Amino acid sequence: MPDLFDRTWIKSLELANRTVRSATWSGVGDERGYVTDLAVSFYSELGRGGIGLIVTGYQFVMTNGQQLVYMVGNYEDAQVEGLRRLAAAVHEQGGKIVPQIVHCGTRANPTFFREGDELWGPSAIPDPATGSTPHEVSREEITRLVEAYAAAARRSQEAGFDGVQLHGAHAYGINQFISGAWNQRGDAYGGSVKKRYRVLGEVLEAVRGAVGEDFPVLIKLSALDFLDGGLIPEEAAQIARWLEEDGIDAIEVSAGSATSRGDTSPSRKRIAKEEDEAYLVDLAAIVKRALKTPVITVGGIRSPKKINSLLADGKADYAALSRPFIREPHLVNRWKTGDTARATCISCNGCFETGLQGLGISCKVERELRAKNEDKD
Ligand SMILES: Cc1cc2nc3c(=O)[nH]c(=O)nc-3n(C[C@H](O)[C@H](O)[C@H](O)COP(=O)(O)O)c2cc1C
Ligand code: SF4
């Protein structure tokens, strides 16, 4: 029977347990996306927590691919030095770390664009998140995009990371190409699922070419957009099969986006009891049924009990958490010592505030508790 504390491998990468820190923008880059001292101490703290695999916050691979302020970048070679410090900070604590690399597509924020940058999308359709209509990328621009992912993966390897994760979820660039909600192209990159997969297939091939056969390449993939005309699980399972054939090493299954229907954002609120936990695990199970490749589930996972039950049911091979590690970076070590109470995170999404101020993300509930206690003293 698989267990949360099993030692496992993703290709050559040995992991101490089946927990993953899901990619989490942490607001620790500088104005140009370079790694700061704050980033190094932030990841060092996470590295001490006993997590099996840490995925960094999304790193933009081109200057027109950045969404949030203080996002770390991976778009030019001068950034390797800082990225190396980030990887080393986790390795020094005995942890494993891979960067998540992204082009945010139509969800990029033009405020951060450099001279000559344009908003890119698969088709010239207004994005409901911003109302902006992107420039429909040409074949030549697709080649530049593919090369940017490959260069970011190469930099990640040079910086000493343990692998790399492509961001193929949450309505960003790759998700937009594979989804009929954004991709309405009439050429070889749009139409059938196979054609919509083409950009992702080219990205994976170029990334693999850049890092070699032994370097783990993972993806976080949306399996459902919760949008009219958007990606559905059957399409995602087919895409996952092609990814497997093309050499992906693990697939983290997510869903939804900032503009998906109802309460279907990737970071749902109100995970109050065990039944609310692991709200995307059935999507992971659909993808897992189609594959031999390890599958990671993410979304509202809060307790060792739930993790062991989804592992026992064969629905996924790994459990990824994001918000719980903001409140409790050492949560896995706590569980390991026998205190298996569920994560104290109440899933309120108050953790963005300090990140947007350039101070790094932090738990709002903890901050308020501390302020109350200080008032009492
Ligand atoms: C502050 C914050 C930043 C996030 N940044 C990313 C990111 O960079 N890349 C990504 O794929 N998902 C990102 N997410 C989504 C999480 O990785 C995760 O999919 C989602 O929060 C559900 O997991 P949880 O319930 O354990 O938080 C972010 C979520 C939060 C709260
Ligand atoms: S602010 Fe704290 S409790 Fe609320 S979601 Fe973020 S980490 Fe969890």
For residue range 186-207, what is the model confidence (pLDDT) as tens digits?
999 999 999 999 999 999 999 9
Residue of 327, 356, 362 with the most ligand 2 atoms within 8 Å of its CB, for mutation: 327
Q: Is 52 part of any domain?
A: yes
Tens digits of residue pLDDT in 274-324: 999 999 999 999 999 989 999 999 999 999 999 999 999 999 999 999 999
Average pLDDT over residues 319-341: 98
Ligand 2 atom having least distance to the Cα of 267: 5
Across the chain, mean pLDDT equals 97
Residue minimizing CA distance to atom 3 of ligand 2: 345
From the CB of 321, is ligand 2 less than 6 Å away?
Answer: no
Q: 128 CA to middle of ligand 1, Å?
A: 20
CATH of residue 124's domain is: 3.20.20.70
Tens digits of residue pLDDT in 25-82: 999 999 999 999 999 999 999 999 999 999 999 999 999 999 999 999 999 999 999 9
- pLDDT band, residue 117 (cuts 50/70/90): very high
Q: What is the pTM of this model?
A: 0.98
Of the chain, the percentage scoring pLDDT greater than 70 comes to 100
Which of 172, 189, 279, 318 is labelled catalytic? 172
Tens digits of residue pLDDT in 140-177: 999 999 999 999 999 999 999 999 999 999 999 999 99
Q: Is 49 part of any domain?
A: yes
Q: Is 1 part of any domain?
A: no
Domain count, the chain: 1
Average pLDDT over residues 330-357: 97
Res. 376: pLDDT tops 80:
no
Average pLDDT over residues 131-145: 97
Looking at all shown ligands, the one closest to residue 327's CA atom is 2
From the CB of 269, is ligand 2 less than 6 Å away?
Answer: no
Q: Is 176 part of any domain?
A: yes
Q: Is 341 part of any domain?
A: yes
Q: What is the model's pLDDT at position 263?
A: 86
Q: What is the model's pLDDT at position 372?
A: 87
Q: Which residues line ligand 1 (CB under 6 A)?
A: 22-25, 57-58, 100, 167, 169-170, 220, 254, 266-267, 298-301, 321-324, 349, 351-352, 361
Query: Is 172 designated active site?
Result: yes
Q: What is the model's pLDDT at position 175?
A: 98
Q: 363 CA to middle of ligand 2, Å?
A: 5
- pLDDT band, residue 238 (cuts 50/70/90): very high
Q: What is the model's pLDDT at position 172?
A: 98
Res. 242: pLDDT tops 80:
yes
Q: Is 3 part of any domain?
A: no
Q: What is the model's pLDDT at position 95?
A: 98
Cβ neighbourhood burial of 338 (10 Å; 0-12, 13-18, 19+): exposed
Q: Is 193 part of any domain?
A: yes
- Which of 375 and 256 is assigned the larger pLDDT? 256
Q: What is the domain extent for residue 61?
A: 8-376
d(CA 281, CA 285): 6
Q: Is 2 part of any domain?
A: no
Residue minimizing CA distance to atom 6 of ligand 2: 351
Res. 261: pLDDT tops 90:
no
Of the chain, the percentage scoring pLDDT greater than 90 comes to 95
